[in-house]
């Protein structure tokens, strides 16, 4: 019998988890799929500050198909997902959020596609649930920019809700970068992909742990992890300014020869200096972003630290 792991990263989800477990129970009792599967629900506790861990332990006691992986602190969802992939034992893994935004009834559809030979079946939101207009527009703009600057497909409205075949999991596990942008990594590994539309609900309990600032960070992460286009942009701006400067230099030189130099031009000098100074600082900032990435990767620290695992802990030395 094929085994399917449902991987759920959880950070302060004590309110949602019991509801999620209730929603999952018909699925793992094989009432929702034509063929029966062996199930494993792997919940990664990403350093929650509430009693999420206690709830997961209870679930594990009551039903050994529930496994937990407890990280030593909050490492962020991206890292928690990699931890889960390392410890998942299924032939396929379904990654879903704990907050009920990813509907359980889509999972059988994903499995159907997987059985037909697709390796990466991802959910695409047909609507984004309740969200402010500003956030929606910003996300749209961000995707457009990111897509323009990289050859890898970054699909809008596609999140981490997906089914991955063992092949994909093994590929993802090789990508140990600490600055993770999973959305890009999923496309980077390739394999045959299939899209499934789903209606995303709004968060029912607790609140989203992503605010505007963390979304902005994620955006910068997304750009710097997958493209060096900003560096290219800085070079192009540099070349253009240098060209303009040469033209202006010739103009000033000729004018001085013809008409002498009446020593004016304080405003021009100020404008040019401030403008160039600004450009240089921006370019430095961009370079700095990439250097900081190198700094973090060069340390070669593990992506996460495990505090405890409910299952058999053999062969996980990462």
Return the number of the residue (72 or 280) whose C-beta is nearest ligand UDP: 72
Which one of residues 13, 86, 119, 165 is an interface residue with ligand UDP (CB under 6 A)?
13
Q: Which tokens go with 231?
A: 């560096």
- Buried residues in 161-191 as b, exposed as e (16+ CB within 10 A): bbbbbbebbebbeeeeebebbbbbbbbbbee
Closest CA to 316 of 84, 56, 123, 110: 84
From the list ligand UDP, Mg ion, none, pick the one residue 84 interacts with, judged by a Cβ distance below 5 to 8 Å according to partner type.
none
Q: Does 12 bind Mg ion (CB under 5 A)?
A: no
Neighbours of 48 (CB within 10 A): 20
* Residue closer to Mg ion, measured from CB, 2 or 203: 203
Name which of 9 and 47 has its Cβ closer to Mg ion.
9
Give 163-197 as a DSSP string: EEEHHHHHHHHH---SS--HHHHHHHT---EEEEE
Segment lying near ligand UDP (by CB under 6 A), choices 93-101, 114-122, 184-192, 265-273: 93-101
Q: Beta strands of the chain (E only): which ranges? A: 3-10, 38-45, 66-71, 92-95, 120-127, 158-165, 193-199, 306-309
Specify burial of residue 156 (Cβ count, 10 A radius: 0-12, 13-18, 19+): middle
Q: Among 126, 170, 208, 268, which residue sits at the site for ligand UDP (rule: CB under 6 A)?
A: 208
Q: Is 224 an interacting residue with respect to ligand UDP (CB under 6 A)?
A: no
Distance in angstroms (rounded) separating the CA atoms of residues 229 and 206 = 38
Q: Is 52 near Mg ion (CB under 5 A)?
A: no
- Tokens 């020593």 — which residue? 263
CB 303, min distance to Mg ion, A: 22
Answer yes or no: are the C-beta atoms of 271 and 279 closer than 8 Å: no
Are the C-beta atoms of residues 170 and 141 closer than 8 Å to each other?
Answer: no
Position among 40, 86, 97, 165 found at the interface with ligand UDP (CB under 6 A):
97
CB of 191 to ligand UDP, least distance (A): 24
Q: Give residues with Cβ within 8 angstroms of 299, minimum separation 6.
A: 178
Q: Which is nearer to ligand UDP, 6 or 98 (CB)?
A: 98
Residue 222 lies near ligand UDP (rule: CB under 6 A): no
Given Mg ion, ligand UDP, none, residue 98, with its beta carbon under 5 to 8 Å by kind, binds ligand UDP
Q: Does residue number 46 form part of the binding site for ligand UDP (CB under 6 A)?
A: yes
Tokens 């240089």 map to which residue?
Answer: 280
Beta strands in 96-253 (DSSP E): 120-127, 158-165, 193-199
Report, in Å, the least distance between residue 38 CB and Mg ion. Answer: 28
- 308: partner contacted, choices Mg ion, ligand UDP, none (Cβ within 5-8 A by kind): none
Find the shortest distance in angstroms from Cβ 200 to ligand UDP: 9
Nearest 5 degrees, angle CA 196-CA 200-CA 206?
Answer: 140
The interface with Mg ion within residues 71-100 (CB under 5 A) comprises 97, 99
78 or 97: CB nearest Mg ion: 97
46 binding partner (options ligand UDP, Mg ion, none; Cβ < 5 to 8 Å by kind): ligand UDP
In the complex, the residues that contact ligand UDP under the rule CB under 6 A are 9-11, 13, 46, 74, 76-77, 80, 97-99, 101, 203, 208-210
- Contacting positions for Mg ion (CB under 5 A): 97, 99, 101, 203
């Amino acid at each position: 019998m094929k085994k399917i792991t449902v991987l759920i990263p959880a950070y302060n989800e004590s309110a949602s988890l019991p509801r999620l477990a209730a929603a999952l129970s018909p699925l793992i009792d094989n009432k929702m799929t034509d063929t029966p599967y062996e199930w494993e629900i792997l919940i990664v506790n990403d350093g929650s500050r509430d009693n999420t861990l206690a709830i997961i332990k209870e679930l594990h006691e009551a039903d050994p198909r529930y496994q937990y992986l407890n990280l030593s602190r909050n490492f962020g969802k991206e890292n928690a997902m990699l931890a889960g992939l390392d410890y998942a034992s299924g032939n396929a893994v379904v990654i879903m959020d704990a907050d009920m935004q990813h509907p359980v009834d889509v999972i059988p559809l994903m499995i159907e596609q997987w059985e037909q030979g697709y390796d990466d079946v991802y959910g695409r939101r047909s609507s984004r649930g309740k969200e402010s207009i500003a956030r929606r527009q910003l996300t749209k703009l961000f995707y457009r920019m990111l897509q323009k600057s990289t050859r890898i497909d970054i699909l809008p409205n596609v999140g981490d809700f997906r089914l991955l075949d063992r092949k994909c999991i093994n590929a993802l596990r090789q990508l140990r970068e600490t600055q993770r942008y999973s959305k890009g990594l999923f496309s980077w590994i390739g394999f045959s992909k299939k899209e499934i539309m789903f209606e995303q609900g709004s968060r029912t309990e607790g609140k989203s742990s992503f605010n505007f600032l963390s979304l902005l960070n994620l955006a910068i992460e997304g750009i710097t992890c997958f493209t060096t286009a900003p560096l290219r942009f800085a070079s192009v701006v540099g070349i253009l300014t240098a060209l303009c400067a040469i033209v202006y230099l010739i103009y000033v030189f000729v004018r001085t020869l013809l008409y002498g130099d009446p020593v004016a031009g304080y405003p021009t000098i100020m404008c040019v200096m401030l403008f160039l100074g600004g450009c240089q600082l921006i370019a430095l900032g961009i370079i700095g972003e990439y250097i900081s990435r190198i700094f973090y990767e060069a340390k070669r620290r593990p992506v996460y630290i495990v505090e405890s695992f409910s299952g058999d802990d053999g062969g996980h030395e990462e």
